Amino acid sequence: MSEQEATIDGLKQILREVAGQADGVDLEGDILDRTFEELGYDSLALLETGSRLERAVGVKLDDSTLNEVQTPRELLAAVNENRPVRFDAA
């Protein structure tokens, strides 16, 4: 996949693929401002999600960014502000 804007739909797809969906959480709804913790994703799930987003969009986030973002809106903003950067094997 080449460089493109990270979208909430793309993020939802990645979340489903890399971390599944917690019981009682509806990813179809508006999740932009819900915290990843509320959505049932722990730090490792977020790390894996970040890694997949980086590859999809062609950015490289620094590690502290992934530790700081709390919500999908913040994560998408961080990714889109950072792009574009070359990515070795995407």
Partner 1 sequence: MSAPVVVTGMGVVAPTGLGAAEHWAATRAGTTRIRQVQRFDPEGYPSRLAGEVSSFVAEEHIPSRLIPQTDHMTRMALTAADWALDDAGVSPEEWPEFDIGVVTASSSGGFEFGQGELRNLWRRGGAFVSAYQSFAWFYAVNTGQISIRHGLRGPSGVLVADQAGGLDAIAQARRLVRRGCRISIAGGVDGSICPWGWVAQLAGGRMSTVADPAQAYRPFAADASGHVPGEGGALLVVEDAESARRRQVPVYGEIAGYAATFDSPAHSGHEPGLRRAIEQALENAGEAPHAVDVVFADAAAVPDLDRAEANAIRKVFGARGVPVTAPKTMTGRLLSGAGSLDVATALLAIRDQVVPPTVNTVPRPEHQLDLILGASREMPVSTALVLARGYGGFNSAMVVRRAGWAGPPEESERSER
Residues binding partner 1: number (CB under 8 A):
19
Nearer Cβ to partner 1 (19/79): 19
Q: Which of 8, 34, 47, 71 binds partner 1 (CB under 8 A)?
A: 47
CB burial class (10 A; 0-12, 13-18, 19+) of residue 41? buried
Nearer Cβ to partner 1 (14/78): 14
Q: How far is the CB of 47 from partner 1 (least distance, A)?
A: 4
Please give the Cα distance from 42 to 39 (Å, whole number).
9
Binding mask 6-45 for partner 1 (x = CB under 8 A): ----------xxxxxxxx----------------x---xx
Q: How far is the CB of 74 from partner 1 (least distance, A)?
A: 19
CB 7 within 8 A of CB 53: no
CB 75 within 8 A of CB 11: yes
User: Which is nearest to 48 in space by CA: 14, 4, 82?
Assistant: 14
